[in-house]
Amino acid sequence: MTSTNELSLSETYGAFIDNEFRPVAGQTFPAKHAGTGETVAQLARCGRTEIDAAVQAAAKAAPAWRARSAEERAELLLKLAAVIEADTDRLARIDSIDIGRRLFETTLDHRFAISQYRYFAAAAITHEGFGRAIPNGYLVAKREPYGVCGLIIPWNVPAIMAAFKIAPAVAAGNTVVLKPDENASLSTMELCKHIARIFPPGVINVVPGFGEEAGAALTAHPGVAKLAFTGSSEVGRIISQAGAERLVPVSLELGGKSPNIVFPDIEDIDAVVDNAMFATMYCNGQSCLAGTRLFVHDAIYDDFMERLVAGMRRVKVGPALATDTIMSSLVSAEQGERVLKYIDIGISEGARLMVGGKRVSVEGNEAGYFIEPTVFEATNSMRIAQEEIFGPVLSVMRWSDYDQMIAEANGVRYGLAAGLYTSNLRNAWETADRLQAGSVWINQYFNLASGSPFGGFKESGIGSEYCHETLNMYTHLKAITVQTKVMEPWFAPKP
């Protein structure tokens, strides 16, 4: 097992403001090893005082940062990407300990985050307004940063979430105050050590704490000009209301209950089974993108289910840092109990439990919530098929009527993502067009490519991340018109 000394963690982390960790004056809360329950560091339980100091630091830094050229901001983002790349092995291990996910996945998270910093370094240089001639003059529409942005991220993929928020915000010329989730702050606080060596003081500030304290203070602060949040739809409503009260723009990336559709014309059934398993169980099922509703055509249903169940039984559940682990622990006891409760709900609803459904004891990690990959045969109206569980639980539905299947695929309050598998081009395009989802992946789930818009329909959010348009969410559009001469009088004609 990797020791905390090998990871060079600090014993205590205060708020990161003006490129310094502030001394901890009040209460702290523990960052715990998700598997063993061991406390690996203490984090300052920040609130209004620290948020106010961070916002003031960001506001002070904003004019100089805004004045920097896009090329200068891009250069610093590229430097940050390079130091994260050099430190990926250590940062990935920190995340595996902190949130319980296997090392293979947290390593991919950091590579994904690196690509975000590099993408927005490039995008910043090409983020332009527009112009056109008008009679006797010219119209210019230019992009200007909002100023101080308040950013709040969840615990499931902290490296990616930090990059999703920080990269576009600072690339567009804003300064930021970021609140990481209390269940997953360690790698973000360690990221601050790199930020302090690259960025000017006050450009990027990070304040740990609880949502109802630090998060609430950040969303309500009058010095914050833009809010961005990733998390549950329920909390998203609270953030949106806070923004509405102060009339500041809010972008939201929220929950999902994504459909994944299998047509009978697939050519390699084993490959599709494997990808459908990946769509559900990646991140231990703790992903808003997860394809947790699997629609399998009646003509191949029995064969598909036999292979799916067999595949799930082969999944190795074990410690996050073990090289042969495929699935590891959920982030906390609270999340583990939530998932187990939903499994009980599925059974009580009459769903047929095909495999899994139990907590697994892992030697040396008895405190962790390791839950078997779980598959139900269900109907779309059941709670387990309608509500976001955020765990390794898959609901499978049999379909034969195409229009009914599409109606059920769209028949949830979410619309974040969707997948489908077919060798028929018409099936692919028609289905993708009819699905109410911000991202539709054909023949490869989670097929996120740099520059592809990522955002949801319905209750899955407002705005798109991961693309050039994201920079528009972090900027005002200002119109300036220039006339070559003053017009002839028309309002008050000469006598």
The residues annotated as belonging to the active site are 253, 288
CA-to-CA dists, residue 324 to 281, 319, 361, 477, angstroms: 16, 9, 16, 51
Q: How far apart are CA 227 and CA 483, in angstroms?
A: 36
Tell me how crowded residue 134 is: count the other CB atoms within 10 A of its CB.
Answer: 11
Are 23 and 14 in contact by the 8 Å Cβ rule? The answer is yes
Q: Counting runs of H as helices and runs of E as strands, what totals does the chain give?
A: 15, 25
Q: How far apart are CA 27 and CA 491, in angstroms?
A: 65
Are 70 and 398 in contact by the 8 Å Cβ rule? The answer is no
CA-to-CA dists, residue 168 to 253, 275, 355, angstroms: 15, 31, 42
Q: And the tokens for 465? A: 């991340």
Q: How far apart are CA 203 and CA 90, in angstroms?
A: 25
Residue 310 class from Cβ within 10 Å (0-12 exposed, 13-18 middle, 19+ buried)?
exposed
CA angle (85, 87, 90) in 5-degree steps: 130
Of the candidates 380, 386, 385, the residue with the CA atom closest to the CA atom of residue 407? 380
Q: How far apart are CA 306 and CA 189, in angstroms?
A: 45
What 3-state class would DSSP assign to 319?
Answer: coil
**Which DSSP helix (H) or strand (E) runs through 298?**
none
Q: How far apart are CA 62 and CA 402, in angstroms?
A: 53
Are 180 and 153 in contact by the 8 Å Cβ rule? The answer is yes
Percentages helix, strand, coil for the chain (3-state, rounded to 5) are 40, 20, 40
Sequence letter at residue 403: D
Q: How far apart are CA 76 and CA 15, in angstroms?
A: 22
Sequence letter at residue 30: P
What 3-state class would DSSP assign to 436?
Answer: coil
